[in-house]
Amino acid sequence: MLDKEANELVCRTGPGTPGGEFMRRYWQPVALSKDVTRGGKPKAVQIMSEELVLFRDLQGRAGLVGLHCSHRLTSLAYGRVEDGGIRCPFHGWVYDIHGNCLEQPAEPEGSTFKDRVKHPSYPCQELAGLIFAYMGPADKQPLLPRYEVLVREDGTRKTDFYPINSNYLQNVEGAVDSVHFSYLHMDNWSKIKHKLAAYPKPKIEWAETDWGIWQYSDLPDIQHDTVDPCYAHFFMPAGFLRVQGTAANRHTDVKKFMSWYVPTDDTHMLRFQASFAPFSTHEKPYEWPEDKELNLPGPENDYFCDYDNVDTICGIPTRAPGTAIKGFLCQDSMVNESQGPIVDRSKERLGEHDKVLMAQRLMMLKAIRDVQEGRDPKHIIRDPAENVMFYVGRREALEYVSHPLLAPA
Ligand code: FES
Ligand SMILES: [Fe+2]
């Protein structure tokens, strides 16, 4: 549990809040590169309760600037990308990606007013089809971490995102909490629950690292009568890396899924994901399934629950018809949204397997304090020599082969 004060501290990320100052020290994904085309329609985005507009100028550079024009606050999302930046639809002021005001066409000849207008803007960088933005103080800007899922070239990659209607933190916690897998996501529940009871209790190992938390747990795969190793790592400030393999798929290299949980405001978020499948694991390059129509799960469609016909605890199928957001995501969204817009952690009753969540919260609270007291929080990278590639999971992948529970009979 967390008391109400600590809970507020870590959940609120608007400008000027301690949690927001902490989160702003890191690069955060804000959109997919393909969402803004050169000179194409600008896109309104909200990140950590700030209203912004994203565009790609005629040089192809991504720009993230304040949504409301500095002149009379009209939305620049209705502006036009041209002439070195984005032109406001109301009186034609133009801003470049750095927030410089390039034109004020109705001002008198020779006016220097535009030189005194600085529109809010944030630097952007693109990697692996994601646009990352840094929204913290300019003199504290770190390097964008070169995570394996973003920079490896010996495989295929997919990037995507989807919105979730609850506070970002409970969604990160939902991912790091690996025990839920054997309950929430278990098909054939009415039969499996009896077998599950005969399995050993979940064993979780975890350790603090310089990037967050390394975590291992044994997950019973009752359909195949094996125990699969599960690696569910936490990355600062609010990220998650899953290393995926199964007992039936014992390779030295496996799929990796990395997620960034980006608050749009205090009760909504975007989950960005970069997934990577190495060539070595697949006979031919793995083809990631394409999202077709995005029919999001939510209370309005009951998260595709079919209580009478689907044999999961909640009745939400692990593959929901009519949505590209299939698999476990409907179930995950349901558990994380139904906790409430912001979980009141003062009311929780945490058990033994929740210790890793508590460690994660304390890590984040410490990082908030570090920022308040003028120190860099954990996992801020400034030295390019340290930022070659974050190849987390190699050892874990090897353990898919060597883990004693998986040793061939
Ligand atoms: S409100 Fe944007 S130019 Fe006037
Ligand atoms: Fe889940």
- How remote is the CA of residue 175 from the centroid of ligand 2, in Å? 6
Residue 228 has pLDDT above 80, yes or no: no
Ligand 1, atom 4: nearest CA belongs to which residue?
91
The reply to whether 1 falls in a domain is no
Computed over every residue of the chain, the mean pLDDT equals 89
The reply to whether 266 falls in a domain is yes
Ligand 1, atom 3: nearest CA belongs to which residue?
91
Residue 239 and residue 130 share a domain? no
Q: State pLDDT tens for residues 308-367.
A: 999 999 999 987 666 656 678 889 999 999 999 999 999 999 998 899 999 999 999 999
With the most atoms of ligand 1 within 8 angstroms of its CB, the residue from 91, 94, 111, 119 to mutate is 91
* CB under 5 Å of ion ligand 2: residues: 328, 332
- The number of the ligand 1 atom at minimal distance from the alpha carbon of 92 is 3
Residue 228 and residue 99 share a domain? no
Residue 246 and residue 157 share a domain? yes
Q: State pLDDT tens for residues 48-83.
A: 999 999 999 999 999 999 999 999 999 999 999 999
User: By CB neighbour count within 10 A (0-12 exposed, 13-18 middle, 19+ buried), where does 218 fall?
Assistant: buried
The reply to whether 22 falls in a domain is no
CB 133 within 8 A of CB 27: yes
Residue 185 and residue 101 share a domain? no
The residue segments making up the domain with residue 250 are 148-406
Residues pairing with 268 in the sheet: 265
CATH of the domain at 336: 3.90.380.10
Starting at the edge strand that comes first in sequence, how are the strands of the sheet with 43-47 ordered? 43-47, 50-56, 62-66, 121-122
Residues with CB under 6 A from ligand 1: 69, 71-72, 74, 88, 90-93
Residue 206 and residue 88 share a domain? no
Q: What is the mean pLDDT of residues 179-187?
A: 90
Q: State pLDDT tens for residues 244-284.
A: 765 555 545 678 899 999 999 999 999 999 999 888 777 78
The reply to whether 9 falls in a domain is no
The closest ligand to the CA of 180 turns out to be 2
User: In 3D, which of 276, 301, 308, 269 has the Cα closest to residue 394?
Assistant: 276
The closest ligand to the CA of 332 turns out to be 2
Overall number of domains in the chain: 2
- The number of the ligand 1 atom at minimal distance from the alpha carbon of 91 is 3
What is the pLDDT confidence band of residue 302, given thresholds at 50, 70 and 90? very high
Of the three residues 87, 112, 140, the one that is the final residue of a domain is 140
Residue 154 and residue 134 share a domain? no
The reply to whether 83 falls in a domain is yes
Residue 57 and residue 77 share a domain? yes
Residue 54 and residue 71 share a domain? yes
Residue 297 and residue 201 share a domain? yes
Ligand 1, atom 1: nearest CA belongs to which residue?
72
Q: How many CA atoms, within 13 angstroms, populate the side-chain half-sphere of residue 68?
A: 4
Q: State pLDDT tens for residues 1-10.
A: 899 999 999 9
The closest ligand to the CA of 90 turns out to be 1
- How remote is the CA of residue 112 from the centroid of ligand 1, in Å? 17
CB 93 within 8 A of CB 87: yes
Residue 75 and residue 169 share a domain? no
Of the three residues 140, 166, 194, the one that is the final residue of a domain is 140
Of the three residues 140, 156, 185, the one that is the final residue of a domain is 140
The reply to whether 13 falls in a domain is no
Residue 402 has pLDDT above 50, yes or no: no
Residue 25 has pLDDT above 60, yes or no: yes
